[in-house]
Amino acid sequence: MSPFPYEQIVRLPLTAEHVVGPEHLDVNGHMNIGHYFAFGGHAMWDRNRQDLGMPDTYIAERGLTTFTAEQHLRYLAEAVEGDEIGVHTVTVDAGAKALHMAALITNRTRGQLACVMEAIAVHVDFSSRRPVPFPDDVAALIAAAIEEDRTDVALPLSGSIAIRR
């Protein structure tokens, strides 16, 4: 059982839901690591698109995007066929040109935190492919999300990645 308070984690923004199917299993009979990675990565991308001002048109309309620079995954509990999965995304921190997010992947069937995926994304000018500051409107949405996602419970973050100051 995860030492992290499941009841607190499930109050964080729910970005995605899945049911573990046979296509998600590995030879050990539990969900393969690649699917944790895909579920977490897609959920963080969806949060960027839906809540943080970077929709699908961000590249075409503004010439801006994010590139993932670093990731960390920590596995805490298994998920097996038929288990219901919830992915809760948290905007952890940001700098002028970078964003730290986490996807907390819960096993809703068992009431457990199954995996924590963290990522650092760098904001990039798509044509030069070089880091640039977030536009003011996007930076304001990110700041609001960081404040909104703040919890009284310490997030189960790795401590191995963070925004460089």
Fill in the DSSP letter of residue 85.
E
pLDDT, tens digit (0-9, with 9 covering 90-100), for 20-32: 999 999 999 999 9
Topology of the domain covering 6-149 = Thiol Ester Dehydrase; Chain A (3.10.129)
User: How many of the other CB atoms lie within 10 Å of CB of 55?
Assistant: 13
The pLDDT, as a whole number, for residue 123 is 98
pLDDT, tens digit (0-9, with 9 covering 90-100), for 119-128: 999 999 999 9
Which amino acid, 143?
Answer: A
Q: Residue ranges of the domains in the chain?
A: 6-149
* pTM summary value: 0.93
pLDDT, tens digit (0-9, with 9 covering 90-100), for 81-139: 999 999 999 999 999 999 999 999 999 999 999 999 999 999 999 999 999 999 999 99
The pLDDT, as a whole number, for residue 2 is 53
